[in-house]
Structure 1
Amino acid sequence: MHDKKQLITIKGTREGLTLFIDDSCSFDEAIEELQDKLFTNPPKDDEPVVSVRVKLNNRYLNDEQKEKLKSIISYESRFTIHSFESDVLLRKDALSWKEESEIKAVNRIVRSGQVLEVKGDLLLIGDVNPGGKVVSTGNIYIMGSLYGIAHAGFEGDRNAFIAASFMKPSQLRIANYISRAPDYESDGVYMECGLIDEEFDKIIIDRLQVLSSKRKELSGFERRMQNG
């Protein structure tokens, strides 16, 4: 006779506990087994509160189910839920992630008084003239000359960067950091990038090649651009 398949598995880690919920059973079945496990092994009153990560695999929980799980774990044991981790994305979340992670290619000149703003990374094939401005939630690549203002990571991404074929901006901004024109060579620089240096807590200009070591998450497309 085969043993009954376990629907709930609890493993200890350095950070606390990880609770795995089998994704092939119903939610009610998982809850029933979880309650049985907690009732069979109740914690002592002097035990510290333990943080729990809930691994759902290919299961999605709505808010009501999450609250039910939280109440069982909090009230029937000395556990607290740190996070729910699922491999399932809602359609709206997937579309939002796609919009914020894809590269938007634009072929134009951004003239004085104009603002070009995108979600995700911006690849501009053209110049940013003095008085023009480009803004993105991600990185900014300019295959042309940057004379105006560029603001990367404007929703707070401190890992964003700005790269240009020729860089002589009136202002660079990354997240909430600002660097003005006097920080650059008066004649401008070729194939350089601007990024936040955590050690000096400011925006610096460096060779484009440093991105592969300082930004490990670069995609293949971005690495090809960087290497020419």
Structure 2
Amino acid sequence: MNNQDVLDKQQIRDYLKDLPHWREVPGSIAAVFQAKTSAAAIELVNEIASAAELDQHHPDVDWRYNKVFVTTTSHDAGGAVTTRDIALASKISERAQALGVAAHPELIAVVEVCIDSDDPQKIAPQWAAGLGYRVMDDGSLVDPDRRLPAIWFQETASPNPNRFHLDVWKPYSESSRVLEKLREQEAALDDQQAPSFVVATDRQGNRFCICTERER
């Protein structure tokens, strides 16, 4: 296997067994590191930039005070995870450990906006035009800079009266904590599709899904 190869779900899962800081999220792998100070977090950002330049493979990095959120995917492979992402993730974890910066996988999360529609192709270009998003091969819409939530269209012959819902992606290893908090708040939970996703409905009928990487 060369470093251009796209990894399937099982291969990603196997690689991540040796990368405890990282989790699979839609189309990428992600980690969150929390330093003791903002200066230490910036030092980690600099180390990540150095590793990325050496590999000529650049992750998305979001610095928030003493936290560093990192996501890596192979854009030239259509937004899939390749062995280049695995190699870069390993180097980032090594540099974080050398700096004494702890990983916090429980903070990993991705939010997508989902729209029910009986004809997604009819409305997707309008949303793309309004948001400046790119239309992907699977029909979803993605912010070119990957700062804003992705949008995907759930095709259904009879759209729900409330056509919008959120998909909240959490690592499977962390999802039980979220579901327990929802139970404490007395949200209605439909777990027929668990662990892939659990549909939560609030007291006013609004829905959102807690999604994981399992059985996708």
User: Smaller-chain TM-score range?
Assistant: under 0.3
Q: TM-score, normalised by structure 1?
A: 0.24
Greater share of residues in strand: 1
Which has the greater radius of gyration?
Answer: 1
Greater share of residues in helix: 2
Structure of greater relative contact order (alpha carbons < 8 Å, 6+ residues apart): 2
